[in-house]
Amino acid sequence: MPRRLDHLVICVRDLEQAALDWQTLGFNLTPTGVHPFGTSNRLAQFADNFLELLAVTDDALVPPATPGHFSFAAHNRDFLATAEGMSMLVLHSTDAHADAARFRADRIGDYAPFDFGRDAVLPGGGTARVAFSLAFATDPAMPGIAFFTCQQRHPPDLFWKAQYQRHPNGALRVVEVVMSAAEPAAHRDFLERLTEGTPSLRPGG
Protein backbone atom coordinates (compact mmCIF):
# COMPACT_ATOMS: atom_id res chain seq x y z
CA MET A 1 0.00 0.00 0.00
CA PRO A 2 1.46 3.43 -0.91
CA ARG A 3 2.77 5.49 1.99
CA ARG A 4 0.83 8.57 3.02
CA LEU A 5 2.43 11.97 3.13
CA ASP A 6 3.70 12.89 6.60
CA HIS A 7 5.07 16.38 6.02
CA LEU A 8 7.13 18.70 3.85
CA VAL A 9 10.27 20.46 5.06
CA ILE A 10 10.22 24.07 3.88
CA CYS A 11 13.75 25.37 4.44
CA VAL A 12 14.15 29.12 5.12
CA ARG A 13 17.02 31.38 6.08
CA ASP A 14 15.09 33.46 8.64
CA LEU A 15 12.59 31.43 10.66
CA GLU A 16 11.09 34.44 12.43
CA GLN A 17 10.42 36.30 9.17
CA ALA A 18 9.11 33.17 7.45
CA ALA A 19 6.71 32.60 10.34
CA LEU A 20 5.38 36.15 9.99
CA ASP A 21 4.93 35.65 6.25
CA TRP A 22 3.08 32.35 6.71
CA GLN A 23 0.88 33.80 9.43
CA THR A 24 0.00 36.60 7.01
CA LEU A 25 -1.08 33.85 4.59
CA GLY A 26 -3.47 32.59 7.25
CA PHE A 27 -1.57 29.70 8.82
CA ASN A 28 -1.61 29.11 12.57
CA LEU A 29 1.90 27.96 13.54
CA THR A 30 3.18 26.03 16.53
CA PRO A 31 5.69 27.68 18.87
CA THR A 32 9.34 27.28 17.91
CA GLY A 33 10.79 23.80 18.33
CA VAL A 34 14.55 23.44 18.79
CA HIS A 35 16.46 20.39 17.56
CA PRO A 36 19.67 19.19 19.21
CA PHE A 37 21.53 19.34 15.88
CA GLY A 38 21.35 23.04 15.09
CA THR A 39 17.97 23.52 13.41
CA SER A 40 14.68 24.96 14.64
CA ASN A 41 11.17 24.75 13.27
CA ARG A 42 7.60 25.95 13.37
CA LEU A 43 4.79 23.77 12.08
CA ALA A 44 1.49 24.28 10.30
CA GLN A 45 -0.35 21.20 11.57
CA PHE A 46 -3.32 19.59 9.87
CA ALA A 47 -5.35 16.50 10.80
CA ASP A 48 -2.74 13.93 9.75
CA ASN A 49 0.12 15.80 8.07
CA PHE A 50 1.89 19.13 8.34
CA LEU A 51 4.22 21.70 6.85
CA GLU A 52 7.53 22.27 8.64
CA LEU A 53 9.20 25.65 8.37
CA LEU A 54 12.83 24.96 9.21
CA ALA A 55 15.98 27.05 9.58
CA VAL A 56 19.55 26.41 10.63
CA THR A 57 19.83 28.36 13.87
CA ASP A 58 23.12 27.09 15.36
CA ASP A 59 25.65 26.11 12.73
CA ALA A 60 28.11 24.94 15.39
CA LEU A 61 25.78 22.04 16.26
CA VAL A 62 25.32 20.80 12.69
CA PRO A 63 26.89 17.33 12.38
CA PRO A 64 28.71 16.53 9.14
CA ALA A 65 27.46 13.83 6.83
CA THR A 66 29.66 10.72 7.04
CA PRO A 67 29.58 7.41 5.16
CA GLY A 68 26.44 5.56 6.21
CA HIS A 69 25.04 8.52 8.16
CA PHE A 70 22.84 11.17 6.55
CA SER A 71 22.95 14.58 8.24
CA PHE A 72 19.50 16.17 8.27
CA ALA A 73 20.90 19.52 9.38
CA ALA A 74 23.84 19.56 6.95
CA HIS A 75 21.52 18.79 4.02
CA ASN A 76 19.34 21.77 4.88
CA ARG A 77 22.32 24.05 5.49
CA ASP A 78 23.71 23.14 2.07
CA PHE A 79 20.27 23.56 0.47
CA LEU A 80 20.13 27.15 1.76
CA ALA A 81 23.35 28.00 -0.05
CA THR A 82 21.37 28.20 -3.28
CA ALA A 83 17.65 28.40 -2.48
CA GLU A 84 14.78 28.47 -0.03
CA GLY A 85 11.80 26.14 -0.34
CA MET A 86 10.96 22.45 -0.14
CA SER A 87 14.18 20.67 0.77
CA MET A 88 12.74 17.33 1.91
CA LEU A 89 9.65 15.22 1.30
CA VAL A 90 8.59 12.99 4.18
CA LEU A 91 6.41 9.88 4.28
CA HIS A 92 4.67 8.42 7.32
CA SER A 93 6.24 5.43 9.05
CA THR A 94 5.37 2.99 11.82
CA ASP A 95 8.88 1.47 11.82
CA ALA A 96 11.67 3.72 10.55
CA HIS A 97 14.37 1.19 11.43
CA ALA A 98 12.70 -1.35 9.15
CA ASP A 99 12.40 1.33 6.46
CA ALA A 100 16.14 2.01 6.67
CA ALA A 101 16.84 -1.68 6.15
CA ARG A 102 14.47 -1.77 3.18
CA PHE A 103 15.98 1.34 1.63
CA ARG A 104 19.41 -0.26 1.92
CA ALA A 105 18.18 -3.47 0.29
CA ASP A 106 16.47 -1.46 -2.46
CA ARG A 107 19.65 0.60 -3.00
CA ILE A 108 18.01 3.97 -2.41
CA GLY A 109 19.47 4.81 1.01
CA ASP A 110 22.50 3.25 2.61
CA TYR A 111 22.05 5.23 5.84
CA ALA A 112 21.63 4.29 9.48
CA PRO A 113 18.25 5.21 11.02
CA PHE A 114 18.32 8.44 13.00
CA ASP A 115 16.67 8.70 16.43
CA PHE A 116 16.24 11.97 18.31
CA GLY A 117 13.97 13.88 20.67
CA ARG A 118 13.04 17.47 21.42
CA ASP A 119 10.74 19.44 23.70
CA ALA A 120 7.42 20.53 22.18
CA VAL A 121 5.58 23.56 23.55
CA LEU A 122 1.97 22.71 24.43
CA PRO A 123 -0.95 25.09 23.85
CA GLY A 124 -1.11 25.87 27.59
CA GLY A 125 2.56 26.84 27.69
CA GLY A 126 3.99 23.65 29.18
CA THR A 127 6.34 21.29 27.38
CA ALA A 128 6.32 17.62 26.44
CA ARG A 129 9.14 15.43 25.21
CA VAL A 130 8.53 14.10 21.72
CA ALA A 131 10.75 11.57 19.95
CA PHE A 132 11.19 10.54 16.34
CA SER A 133 12.97 7.95 14.20
CA LEU A 134 13.89 8.80 10.61
CA ALA A 135 15.00 6.68 7.66
CA PHE A 136 16.61 8.52 4.74
CA ALA A 137 16.61 7.89 1.00
CA THR A 138 18.33 9.88 -1.74
CA ASP A 139 18.51 9.82 -5.52
CA PRO A 140 21.68 11.09 -7.25
CA ALA A 141 19.43 12.30 -10.07
CA MET A 142 17.67 14.66 -7.58
CA PRO A 143 20.56 16.16 -5.58
CA GLY A 144 18.60 19.16 -4.37
CA ILE A 145 16.01 17.22 -2.39
CA ALA A 146 16.14 14.41 0.14
CA PHE A 147 13.46 11.99 1.29
CA PHE A 148 12.78 10.22 4.55
CA THR A 149 10.16 8.36 6.52
CA CYS A 150 9.20 9.64 9.95
CA GLN A 151 8.03 7.55 12.89
CA GLN A 152 6.69 9.36 15.94
CA ARG A 153 7.72 7.49 19.10
CA HIS A 154 5.48 9.22 21.64
CA PRO A 155 1.75 9.26 22.46
CA PRO A 156 -0.01 11.01 19.55
CA ASP A 157 -1.73 13.54 21.80
CA LEU A 158 1.63 15.01 22.80
CA PHE A 159 2.22 16.16 19.22
CA TRP A 160 -1.13 16.52 17.42
CA LYS A 161 -3.12 19.40 18.90
CA ALA A 162 -6.50 20.63 17.67
CA GLN A 163 -5.57 24.17 18.72
CA TYR A 164 -2.70 24.12 16.22
CA GLN A 165 -4.81 22.63 13.42
CA ARG A 166 -7.29 25.51 13.05
CA HIS A 167 -6.09 27.95 10.39
CA PRO A 168 -7.70 31.32 9.56
CA ASN A 169 -7.29 30.55 5.84
CA GLY A 170 -9.33 27.34 6.20
CA ALA A 171 -6.51 24.98 5.19
CA LEU A 172 -7.26 21.39 6.20
CA ARG A 173 -4.42 19.22 4.92
CA VAL A 174 -1.76 18.73 2.25
CA VAL A 175 -3.35 16.61 -0.46
CA GLU A 176 -0.81 16.78 -3.28
CA VAL A 177 2.84 17.58 -3.93
CA VAL A 178 3.94 18.51 -7.45
CA MET A 179 7.61 18.27 -8.46
CA SER A 180 8.75 19.14 -11.96
CA ALA A 181 11.54 17.41 -13.87
CA ALA A 182 12.90 17.54 -17.40
CA GLU A 183 12.43 13.77 -17.72
CA PRO A 184 9.86 12.60 -15.16
CA ALA A 185 10.14 8.96 -16.23
CA ALA A 186 13.81 8.97 -15.21
CA HIS A 187 12.74 9.16 -11.56
CA ARG A 188 10.08 6.46 -11.72
CA ASP A 189 12.16 3.59 -10.35
CA PHE A 190 13.33 5.57 -7.33
CA LEU A 191 9.83 6.83 -6.51
CA GLU A 192 8.36 3.33 -6.81
CA ARG A 193 10.93 2.01 -4.34
CA LEU A 194 10.45 4.94 -1.97
CA THR A 195 6.65 4.96 -1.86
CA GLU A 196 6.00 1.25 -2.39
CA GLY A 197 3.51 2.39 -5.01
CA THR A 198 3.18 2.33 -8.78
CA PRO A 199 3.48 5.75 -10.40
CA SER A 200 1.61 6.42 -13.61
CA LEU A 201 2.58 8.86 -16.33
CA ARG A 202 0.06 11.63 -16.99
CA PRO A 203 -0.43 13.49 -20.28
CA GLY A 204 2.44 15.91 -20.68
CA GLY A 205 4.67 13.95 -18.26
pLDDT digits (tens, 9 = 90+) for 55-70: 999 999 999 999 999 9
Check pLDDT > 70 for residue 145.
yes
In this prediction, residues 116-126 reach a mean pLDDT of 92
Q: Is the pLDDT of residue 200 over 80?
A: no
Neighbours of 76 (CB within 10 A): 21
Beta strand 114-121 with 33-34: parallel, antiparallel or unpaired? unpaired
Can you tell me the mean pLDDT for 122-144?
94
Instruction: Give yes or no for residue 33 having a pLDDT over 70.
Output: yes
As a whole number of angstroms, the distance between CA 150 and CA 114 comes to 10
The mean pLDDT of 68-80, rounded to a whole number, is 97
Residue 1 is predicted with a pLDDT of 52
Q: For residue 107, what pLDDT band results from cuts at 50, 70 and 90?
A: very high
Average pLDDT for the chain: 94
Torsion sign, CA atoms 61, 13, 23, 175: negative
Of the given ranges (36-40, 129-133, 192-196), which has the lowest mean pLDDT?
192-196
Share of the chain above pLDDT 90, in %: 85
Nearby residues of 157 by Cβ (< 8 Å), 6 or more positions away: none
Residues 152 and 115 sit within 8 Å (Cβ to Cβ): no
- Reported residue count of the chain is 205
Residue 101: pLDDT band (50, 70, 90) is very high
Specify the pLDDT at position 205.
64
Res. 12: pLDDT tops 90: yes
C-alpha–C-alpha distance, residues 168 and 78, integer Å: 33
Say if residue 203's pLDDT is above 80: no
Identify the pLDDT of residue 201: 75
- The pTM of this model reads 0.94
Average pLDDT estimate for 171-185? 91
